[in-house]
């Protein structure tokens, strides 16, 4: 099944530019990934599944004008969210130089003018305020809430891509705001909504 069929099966409808951009991303990741060990699985099928995982929350999260993705690695989820919505300001925060070089290469190749890649650990980032924080496979919820304090607007929302340990993490993090968990296969998306 190709990417368009996979996404349409999940009730998404994107224009042809989105699919063209994604295909370029897939090709670049497969080229760079072999040389630089950017991401574990590089088959088109695995990358397509990661693309779906990255953008799936667009079904249920509220609109946002800006977001920062913490620890984007080879692109998930922040790069795909930036491709899917070119009207919002996207910041990808990633300290590893080779990964940052790859993200900037994709940015230039796709002319993603809405995207800024920051080569640093999020704790060290200054002079940035965003509406939404996203993160997948970086650290636990409590720590994510703590290390992103510097870069949030007054009413931030959070979207964390989690697995099965989410309930324990929620207890530790003492999340008592308005939140919801959306489940898809082994994935639990934690969405903490700003006021
Ligand atoms: C396991 S990878 C996950 C990459 C991507 N989010 C994914 O799901 O495929 C974790 C990434 O987080 C980055 N990272 C770790 N600590 C970080 C921090 N404090 N601030 C920003 N990025 C961080 C690492 O460099 C690494 O690329």
Q: Please give the pLDDT value at position 126.
A: 94
Here the tokens at position 125 are 């980032």
User: Cα of 160 to ligand 1 centre, how many Å?
Assistant: 13
For residue 39, name the pLDDT band (cuts at 50, 70, 90).
confident
The pTM of the full predicted model, rounded to 2 decimals, is 0.97
Residues with CB under 6 A from ligand 1: 70-73, 76, 93-96, 99, 121-123, 136-138, 147
Q: Report percent pLDDT > 70 for the chain.
A: 100
Give the residue extent of every domain in the chain: 3-192
Q: Please give the pLDDT value at position 176.
A: 75
3-192 CATH fold: Rossmann fold (3.40.50)
Query: Any known ligand binding at 184?
Result: no
Contacts of 161 (CB under 8 A, 6+ apart): 53, 77, 134, 135, 136, 137, 187, 189
Query: Any known ligand binding at 99?
Result: no
């Amino acid at each position: 099944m190709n990417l368009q069929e996979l996404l349409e099966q999940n009730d998404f409808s994107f224009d042809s530019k989105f699919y063209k951009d994604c295909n370029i991303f897939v090709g670049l990741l497969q080229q760079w990934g072999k040389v630089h060990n950017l991401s574990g699985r590089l088959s088109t099928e695995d990358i397509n599944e990661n693309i779906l995982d990255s953008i799936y929350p667009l079904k249920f999260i509220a609109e946002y004008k800006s977001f920062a993705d913490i620890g984007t690695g080879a692109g998930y989820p922040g790069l795909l969210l930036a491709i899917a919505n070119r009207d919002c300001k996207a910041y990808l925060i990633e300290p590893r130089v080779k990964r940052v070089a790859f993200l900037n290469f994709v940015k230039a190749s796709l002319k993603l003018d809405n995207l800024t890649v920051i080569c640093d650990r999020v704790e060290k980032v200054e002079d940035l305020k965003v509406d939404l924080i996203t993160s997948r496979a970086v650290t636990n919820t409590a720590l994510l809430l703590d290390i992103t304090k510097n870069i949030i607007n007054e009413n931030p929302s959070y979207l964390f891509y989690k697995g099965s340990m989410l309930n324990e993490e929620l207890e530790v993090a003492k999340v008592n705001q308005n939140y919801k968990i959306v489940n898809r296969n082994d994935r639990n998306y934690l969405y903490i909504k700003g006021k």
